[in-house]
Structure 1
Amino acid sequence: MNTHNQLEALSPILKHYHVEPHFVEDFGTVKKIYSSKGIFALKKVLPSVGTDFIRHVHDLYQKGFNRIVPIYPTMDGRYAVLHDQFLYYLMPWIANEQKENREQQNQQLFRELARLHTLSAKEIPINKEERTVHYESTIGQIEKHEEFLDGFMDVCESKTYMSPFELLFCLYYNQIKLALGYSKTKLDEWYELTKNEEKARMVVVHGKLSSEHFLYDERGYGFFINFENARYGSPIHDLLPYISRALNTNPKRNDQVVNSICHYLKYFPFKDEEKLLFHSYLAYPIPIIQVAEKYYRKQRARNELKFVRQLQQRYWHLTNTEYVVSQLAKMEAQQQAEIQAAEEAKEGAQ
């Protein structure tokens, strides 16, 4: 669509804001609007997304969190315009001037995420039966995965000549089992700690946390965008997908991820039960198990090279995750040791 046609198409929407567009740049679902009133970002979303996220944005603003790109109201007070089967909402355009290095950017992102979670945190009643159902269903899933791993291992070892995929799986088997066992242990500990609790801490989660959804203005301040998936939930729901993507690389000791998590926890410390659940979900080696299951189910016309590459990539993800989990566990053990030493010293002084 050329600029003239875009101006004609967007003018009926922008008239609700008394904004007359002079020029439009197309960035997919976001249009950069140049007007006499300034430069704006017009975002298009499906009506099924709804406008609940706008309520979360405004609630956070009222609580003092202003590191979200604001959403402008129309002249009659609405925060979204329904037009041609889509919802549109208007924001100021953020130039995304990234003046800091990547480490500093990550630290600012996680510091602001921690502040977002801190300001929105509240205790929500939790049904004990629902917690038990969640625990039992997750344990059931882990046990099914354990059963599959053992069964597939037996199938591979029974063959005179293994395929390249099967041979690689046998080499990785023990490490996958250890990760799955660690995840199960932490989940058991979480349930024992929380099974009689009637409340849990919930926060407003961004829902789609990404460095691409954290923009910087000309002063170097960062602002969150893309809040359409915002909702109340556990704070780990923001961290886990982000960390998983960051660890989907070649094998390496990703200290930047460890530092980012620590920086977040410095401003929003997890409770004991949140730590256990976080470690359980983080360690769960579901990506590599899914590849093995897919290979096992696809008995015919397998692309062996493709499957081997996928298995190797998932194994790299597993080893990267193991490093992060082990570093966090070491730090946790060190903190516990320091606390215990301080308590013993205090008792000795008395």
Structure 2
Amino acid sequence: MVKENRLLKVAPIVKNYALEPHFVEERGRIRKIYTNKGVFALKKIDPKHGGDFIRHVQSLFQKGYNRIVPIFPAVDGRYAVLHENELYYLMPWLANEVKENRFERNQQLFRELARLHTLSVREVTISKEDRAEHYEKTLLEWEKENEFLLGFIESCERREYLSPFELMFSLSYHDISQALQFSIKRFKTWYEKTEESEKARTVIIHGKVSTEHFLFDDKGHGYFTNFEKSRLGSPLHDLLPFLSRTLKTYPKRSEECIEWIYTYLKYFPFKEDELLLFQSYFAHPGAVIRSAENYFKASDRKGERKSVLHFQRQYWLLKNTEYILMRIEEIEAQKKQAKAMEEAEGQGGAQN
């Protein structure tokens, strides 16, 4: 009965593609459909995202980017079909069998993400006033966070007995404060270098980059899917959330993340100001500060253990991020030193 209901639901949709469904499997918001012409994936999306989604995917195809799971047009040429106030689109079903380890899969993901950004990059005009407004608003928010940290640590220092959370915050305060100061310093340097500029690079961002949205065919080629949240924006909007999720784990020195970042930068090199902004946002300890703020504001402290565990996870993220940033600093310093040596050698050779 359930199988018959599934077939009845998808039949009028796939009819638009001249397909006859034989069997349907529910996979969350995706339906795996076995038809008279093969196996397909039918995806349901919010109609309000449909226009931008189709436009961005078509734009990437036109620019020559082919590492997107193809979207099949309906018989009448539409790339999405409206049915009962829901929007659907059809794709081939990819096996997505794991033939490489996690490191190599993510290495390919970052390489393809860089290619996607490279093919869609364009300069846009940003007024000095808008840049200044963003700078001042962000800096004000971060300075308020710094004031909170100072207030909370002073409150803890005045107590004779600390709660488990207050003790953990006190022990972590120096690292959190250092991360925030690093973030602010990089942000100020970024603004100093771009204050007079009225240009910035934007790309088509995927909007929800994850290993679940990077699928592999039977030849081991990776393809992006789930472009429903794609939009024009800074490439940082794709990079930072992925890195944050990857590093939100137990304390570790993730050399893998360093490799992934520099794989991306090999194919889509950041300008100096873009790297400064990346470092600033990446370093910002927002998650651990919010955890402390939520505890500080809570009227009921019965969930002490839960609050401590949550804070600890955010602190681990901060420390994992700190290691990545330290390694980036080392690598960039080595690159500058090597460049300086090359220039010095070149000048020496010219004099001879």
Band of TM-score, shorter chain:
over 0.9
Distance across 2 between alignment mates of 1:269 and 1:322? 22
Aligned position for 1:349: 349
String of CA shifts for 1:208-248, please: whole Å, max 9, x gaps. Answer: 00011000000000000000011111111100000000000
Return the offset for 1:51: 2.3
Query: Where do residues 290-305 of structure 1 align in structure 2 (5 Å cutoff)?
Result: 290-305=290-305
The residue type equivalent to 2:24 in the other structure is V
The residue type equivalent to 2:320 in the other structure is N
Return the offset for 1:100: 1.0
Q: Does 1:277 align with 2:273?
A: no
Distance across 2 between alignment mates of 1:302 and 1:344? 64
Aligned position for 2:26: 26
Q: Does 1:11 align with 2:5?
A: no
Query: Where do residues 307-322 of structure 1 align in structure 2 (5 Å cutoff)?
Result: 307-322=307-322
Aligned position for 1:130: 130
Query: Where do residues 17-56 of structure 1 align in structure 2 (5 Å cutoff)?
Result: 17-56=17-56
| Aligned-residue RMSD, C-alpha | 1.0
**Structure 1: stretches of 5+ with no match in the other structure:** none
Aligned position for 1:90: 90
Runs of 4+ in 1 over 6 A off after TM superposition: none
State the SS of the aligned residue for 1:109.
helix
Query: Where do residues 148-187 of structure 1 align in structure 2 (5 Å cutoff)?
Result: 148-187=148-187
Distance across 2 between alignment mates of 1:111 and 1:325? 20
State the SS of the aligned residue for 1:186.
helix
Q: Does 1:143 align with 2:143?
A: yes
Distance across 2 between alignment mates of 1:81 and 1:237? 29
**Structure 2: stretches of 5+ with no match in the other structure:** none
TM-score when normalising by structure 2: 0.98
Distance across 2 between alignment mates of 1:82 and 1:349? 69
String of CA shifts for 1:19-69, please: whole Å, max 9, x gaps. Answer: 111111110110011111111100011222232111111111111110000
Q: Is the 8 A contact 1:279 1:325 kept in 2?
A: yes
State the SS of the aligned residue for 1:104.
helix
Distance across 2 between alignment mates of 1:148 and 1:86? 45
Percent of counterpart pairs with the same letter? 54
Distance across 1 between alignment mates of 2:89 and 2:279? 38
Distance across 1 between alignment mates of 2:302 and 2:235? 40
Aligned position for 2:67: 67
Query: Where do residues 145-294 of structure 1 align in structure 2 (5 Å cutoff)?
Result: 145-294=145-294
String of CA shifts for 1:182-212, please: whole Å, max 9, x gaps. Answer: 0000000110111111111111110000011
TM-score when normalising by structure 1: 0.98
Return the offset for 1:302: 3.2
Distance across 1 between alignment mates of 2:98 and 2:308? 38
Distance across 1 between alignment mates of 2:286 and 2:42? 38
Q: Is the 8 A contact 1:22 1:34 kept in 2?
A: yes
Distance across 1 between alignment mates of 2:131 and 2:38? 50
The residue type equivalent to 2:44 in the other structure is K
Distance across 1 between alignment mates of 2:23 and 2:306? 46
Distance across 1 between alignment mates of 2:101 and 2:154? 49
Distance across 2 between alignment mates of 1:98 and 1:85? 36
Distance across 1 between alignment mates of 2:54 and 2:108? 23
State the SS of the aligned residue for 1:50.
helix
Return the offset for 1:90: 0.6
Return the offset for 1:262: 0.9
